[in-house]
Amino acid sequence: MNRPDRNIRPEIRQLDEASVNRIAAGEVVERPASAVKELVENALDAGATRVDVAYAEGGKTLIRVRDDGCGMAGDDLPLALSRHATSKIDGSDLLNIHSFGFRGEALPSLGAVGRLRIVSRMAGAEGMAIMVDGGRMTAPRPEAAQFGTLVELRDLFHATPARLKFMRSDRAEAQAIADTVKRLAMAEPYVSFTLSDISQGDTREILRLDAAQGALFDALEERLAAILGRDFTENALRVEAEREGLRLTGFAALPTYSRGAAVAQYMFVNGRPVRDKMLLGALRAAYMDVLSRDRHPVAALFIGCTPELVDVNVHPAKSEVRFRDPGLARGLVVSGLRHALAGAGHRASSTNTGAMLGAFQPTPPARSYQMDRPSGAARVAAYQLQAPQGMSESAGFWDAGATMAARSDTAPEAPVDAPLGAARAQLHENYIVAQTERGIVIVDQHAAHERLVYEKLKRLRAENGVPSQALLIPEIVELSAGEAAAVLDIAPQLAALGLVLEPFGGGAIVLRETPALLGNVDARALIRDILDELADQGASAGLEARIDAVLSRMACHGSVRSGRQMRPEEMNALLREMEATPLSGQCNHGRPTYVELSLADIEKLFGRR
């Protein structure tokens, strides 16, 4: 950039209104999706119960929004196209905002960079139309119109062609429009929405959402199922919490129902969709010890409060907000989500069953048939009838099978009516197979026990600290100077976890006590894992987050290892503890600890249904 000559005095001049509007449009209208957002919000502010959105070529050549709201009078149309003219507020209190729009910038900004046409009709009045092209406005004129308002925006950015170079492909812009409409539709479940692509004269319906019915939670669940899919609502938890004037509601998915990117995280403040870093960070923190860093939670969360507690006027696009007490809002999200996750108990995502069925890939049967399931007594009789002739009841395989069948129906030590059933076998020294009333459960013993140990460690730390056991011979671990400093920096916190260590000169440290709950552990491997976790967390993570991450690594060292044979009573004890422990449906990294197959699923594999 060339610096101005200090000897030449630049002239200060007043910009004309068209230039001012184009500059404002650069803040408000970033892309076609931004225009759709502003127009749909206007429709919702007008009390619309139905909003129809259509676009062509990704919104670059045409955006059309029709609503059945209150409409506008002909005299109001020129005023609506003037900067900072709005019916939403009177300007006396910018913190008492109850509508989506309030700045009075959207329509004049759109008219400054595109060809805008508005047709509107109020109750008891005739329809009126007005046009504006590149900031040049026509006079209102009568036009036949339905009740409500129709806004058409053609050739977006034709007045500022340089902006067109920054547009993405039609497909990418269309995807952004769809995402915008979906977010607004989540905020208004009692409003019907349609979204159509009318490129090249063909009409293709992208989205149709009928107005939901019933109470708010039921209506929201219905709307989220239509947008995010039934898989989400079937694997989501209801979230409801309140603290000091802030109220949190919504749905959050189980940790085992997660994504590889943060593409399904929806946050709303007083019904307004926002992309707020603080709130998204709180969502991430709530799932911190149930998801690995490469997985992301799925959630639709709504924070409600009196308008005075939040400032929505901190960004022209109103996509960011500022709470009067940010810590209170963040704490509400974290605690509300953690309470909901803890209440889920051992529940795991149902989509794991579908993945498991797909992995089996059974050969398609020649014909399917339905088989009735016999009772226990009928199975015993059948076994006896099928026994080879001459075999006595006191010996032989068939009698043993009948006896086992009868015993499995009545044995109190095999609680098949428990949620995770009764252990029947251990496969490959790692997977427990349990029988339930409805089918079977397969448990990853190491992943399950790792979660149980982690939760026990957290509970002990919260109560009185984790009991430790002194090493008969303290272990000296050689580290680099930087590694030793990193571990010693949190030595007091590690001592509260039962891990007592001290400097030993140079880069060495001496480990004197380890958590009693872990039993015999490889001290060097444990210290190395703690260092890895500290490096992964980085300096940006809070101390509590880093200590929880260390606890998670320690739990891995104290859990049942893969390859260890377990006795039936041990397997059943593990199942019962899983049922009593929150979050036991997933390991510390968000992977499922068990999968479940119903009898119906099993019968499908064999072509019986």
Residues 435-453: tens digit of each pLDDT: 999 899 999 998 899 889 8
Q: Which fold has domain 216-343?
A: Ribosomal Protein S5; domain 2 (3.30.230)
pLDDT tens digit string along 4-53? 566 666 666 665 666 555 555 555 678 899 999 999 999 998 899 999 99
Reply yes or no on whether the pLDDT at 317 is more than 70: no
Q: Is 7 exposed, middle or buried (0-12, 13-18, 19+ CB in 10 A)?
A: exposed
Kindly report which listed range (5-19, 496-510, 544-558) carries the lowest average pLDDT score.
Answer: 5-19
| Phi, psi (degrees; rounded to nearest 5) at 259 | -125, 160
Secondary structure (H, E, C), 434-501: EECCCEEEEEEHHHHHHHHHHHHHHHHHHHCCCCEEEEEEEEEEECCHHHHHHHHHCHHHHHHCCCEE
**345-374+411-609: CATH topology:** Ribosomal Protein S8; Chain: A, domain 1 (3.30.1370)
Write down the pLDDT at residue 181. Answer: 97
Closest by Cα among 284, 364, 376 to 605: 364
Q: For domain 17-202, which CATH number applies: 3.40.50.720, 3.30.565.10, 3.40.50.150, 1.10.1740.10?
A: 3.30.565.10
Q: How far apart are CA 437 and CA 373, in angstroms?
A: 13
For residues 447 and 567, give the distance between their C-alpha atoms in angstroms, rounded to a whole number.
18
**CB neighbourhood size of 225 (10 A):** 17
* pLDDT (0 to 100) of residue 295: 86
Strands annotated E in 134-262: 136-137, 141-142, 148-154, 192-197, 204-209, 236-243, 246-253
Under DSSP, the state recorded for 517 is G
- Residue 180 in contact with residue 40, Cβ under 8 Å? yes
The confidence band for 383, taking pLDDT boundaries of 50, 70 and 90, is very low
Q: Tell me: the pLDDT tens digits for 153-184?
A: 999 887 777 777 788 899 999 999 999 999 99
HEC sequence for 410-429: HCCCCCCCCCCCEEEEEECC
At 237-277, the pLDDT tens digits run: 999 999 999 999 999 999 888 888 888 999 999 999 998 88
409 pLDDT band, cuts 50/70/90, is very low
pLDDT at 375: 58
Domain segments of the chain as ranges: 17-202, 216-343, 345-374+411-609
CA separation for the pair 511, 470 (Å, rounded)? 9
Is residue 311 pLDDT above 50, yes or no?
Answer: yes
pTM, entire model: 0.70
